[in-house]
Amino acid sequence: MKILPAVISLSFVLSSACWAATPVTQGVIRFEGRIVEQSCATGTDEAESIRLNNCPASMRATLLEARNIDSSSAASSIKVQLLSDSNHGRYYDQQYRLVDVAGSPVKAGNFLITMSVP
């Protein structure tokens, strides 16, 4: 009966020695993909405002910029002003409007609005 424990011990020793003798290959593990989440619902209204509704919290640091693309318009420095910001769970709503240098709402023109998301 003492032979069985000796055989088991010897097999463990030999298997670990064989395992240690196996060369370790090095390589690179790379993960690719993207996290896809619904984007904001956008729109405008009669109050000349831009709405972003049901935006995921991951887009909270969204940056909006406006550029005048109408060459006949005199307004060149346009800013995007945040009017309201509400949070409801995992989502939020924001409302913006375009304003000129004096802070007055812009009511006419052609603008390219760029939304940058982190």
pTM value is 0.60
Instruction: Identify which of 101, 111, 105 has the alpha carbon closest to the alpha carbon of residue 70.
Output: 111
The per-residue pLDDT for range 21-51, each reduced to its tens digit, is 556 667 888 777 776 667 788 888 776 788 8
Is pLDDT above 60 for 102? yes
Spell out a b/e string for 55-93, using b for 16 or more CB atoms within 10 Å of the CB, else e: beeebeebebebebeeeeeeeeebebeeeeeeeeeeebb
- Determine contact, residues 81/97, Cβ cutoff 8 Å: yes
The per-residue pLDDT for range 62-98, each reduced to its tens digit, is 788 888 887 655 556 888 999 998 988 888 899 999 9
